Amino acid sequence: MKKLIIASTSTVHGSKYLEYILPELKSFFAEVDEILFVPYARAGGLTHDEYTAIAQEGFKKINKKVRGIHTFTDPVVAVQNAGAIFVGGGNTFLLVTMLYNHNLMEVIRRAVLDGTPYLGTSAGSNITGLTMQTTNDMPIVYPPSFKTLGLVPFNINPHYLDPVEGSKHMGETREMRIKEFHKINTQPVVGIREGSWLAVEGDKIILKGDLPARIFECNNAPYELSPGSEVRCK
């Protein structure tokens, strides 16, 4: 049975890396000692080793070992043998390009469908959807496709942001961008606010955290979904 945590962000303001979600991760990863970390999304500043060290620091508090996929000779085998997978945030265009270049997209999908627990934050959450087309990121690299893991039957918009009241900026709000997406695409979009996550067990998808999510369905008005509710968008 597939098991995922799809988190809007790794870090909430004023708190340490993963800290806000550690109680959930402790039970989610109860059965595993080591987690395979995918640092590929990181474009700026940190090396894959440095990014993995941050993930390790976060998981130390619940006694989990983290190993970066870049340290394996064969990343495909690394995924196939992993007890659990964590795909971190960064730039979604870069992440998707790296996953395709290393032939990992289908391999990760298959592993999760076969029951390997999957944690995603930000870009790592974005790719659990049908396509990466509701990312907020800049297209810094041209991926072979926008198609992603399709482990949930909708698209994700992480770091969902409400329109800023009284803003004089004329650029599109997040809601306007998602409406534009729906002029061309039909799948629903789940906007997850920072500090919230989706807990997936088989076909059951529950919104967790303190904040509601915003659900955008093609041809319907967007609506708020309360924490604790099941996501049943169509």
**Which residue numbers are catalytic?**
122, 137, 159
Q: Taking contact as CB under 8 A, which single stretch among the options 62-70, 76-84, 105-113, 166-174 is the one that binds its own copies? A: 166-174
The single residue among 77, 103, 113, 146 that binds its own copies, judged by CB under 8 A, is 146
DSSP-assigned letter for residue 213: E
From residue 105 to residue 134, the character string flagging contacts with its own copies as x (rule: CB under 8 A) and all else as - is ---------------------------xxx
Amino acid identity at 183: K
The position carrying tokens 């708020």 is 224
Which residues from 201-230 bind its own copies, rule CB under 8 A? none
Q: How far is the CB of 225 from its own copies (least distance, A)?
A: 20
53: helix, strand or coil: helix
Does position 11 interact with its own copies (CB under 8 A)? The reply is yes
Does position 196 interact with its own copies (CB under 8 A)? The reply is no
Are 193 and 216 within 8 A, CB to CB? Answer: no
Q: How far is the CB of 11 from its own copies (least distance, A)?
A: 6
CA distances (Å), origin 210, targets 25, 83, 92, 197: 16, 29, 25, 9
Are 127 and 87 within 8 A, CB to CB? Answer: yes
The single residue among 22, 32, 43, 62 that binds its own copies, judged by CB under 8 A, is 43
209, with CB counted inside 10 A (0-12, 13-18, 19+), is buried
Residues in contact with its own copies by CB under 8 A are 9-14, 43-44, 90-91, 93-94, 132-142, 145-146, 159, 161, 168-172, 176-181, 183-185, 194
